């Protein structure tokens, strides 16, 4: 069993109430090979909600208490994000999940690249808070951009 970011499985849980459906990921869910989870919703964030970015760092820094996650208006949502990450980790532990497919760019799910904290739609290298936490646990991470490389293994 693998877990996938819920929005790429078609769940309308993004900040603006939309999804980023990827038909091949939805197929994995339909075949009961994957479970969709949204860490931000697990942390109590609502839909729709203000978009957030990691300020002055990346997911690793947030886990280490050196950076925070804020919305455009400066509201700090770090605790909600960390709570959602904690719930996500508990769930995959219960399900004995060793592999995930995450949505790129997100301050939570993003793996490899994330928005840079300026709210100008600019990216930088780094991982979101969930991706950083999963990496620390040794979970294998793919994204919607490269999971087809291993699709046959699911
Ligand atoms: Fe939820 Fe992650 Fe998708 Fe954002 S990228 S909507 S946190 S599943």
Q: Span 6-25, mean pLDDT?
A: 98
Per-residue pLDDT tens digits for 24-50: 999 999 999 999 999 999 999 999 999
CA of 95 to the centre of ligand 1 (A): 20
| Interstrand relation of 34-37 and 2-5 (parallel, antiparallel or unpaired) | parallel
Residue percentage of the chain with pLDDT more than 70: 100
pLDDT value of residue 152: 85
Residue nearest atom 4 in ligand 1 by C-alpha distance = 14
pLDDT (average), residues 78-87: 98
Assess whether the C-beta atom of 143 lies below 6 angstroms from ligand 1.
no
How many whole angstroms from 84 Cα to the centroid of ligand 1? 11
Residue 39 CB–ligand 1 contact under 6 Å: yes
pLDDT of residue 104: 96
Atom of ligand 1 nearest to the CA of 40: 7
Q: What integer pLDDT is reported at residue 153 of this predicted model? A: 81
């Amino acid at each position: 069993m693998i877990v996938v970011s819920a929005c790429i499985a078609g769940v309308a849980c993004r900040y603006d109430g939309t999804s980023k459906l990827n038909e091949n990921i939805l197929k994995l869910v339909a075949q009961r090979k994957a479970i969709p989870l949204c860490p931000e919703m697990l942390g109590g964030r609502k839909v729709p909600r203000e978009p957030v970015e990691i300020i002055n760092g990346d997911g690793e820094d947030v886990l280490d208490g050196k950076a925070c996650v804020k919305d455009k208006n400066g509201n700090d949502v770090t605790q909600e994000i960390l709570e959602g990450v904690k719930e996500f980790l508990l769930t995959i532990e219960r399900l004995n999940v060793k592999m995930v497919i995450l949505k790129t760019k997100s301050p939570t799910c993003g793996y490899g690249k994330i928005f840079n904290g300026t709210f100008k739609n600019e990216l930088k290298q780094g991982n979101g808070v969930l991706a950083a936490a999963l990496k620390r646990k040794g979970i294998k991470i793919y994204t919607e951009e490269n999971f087809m490389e291993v699709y046959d293994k699911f």
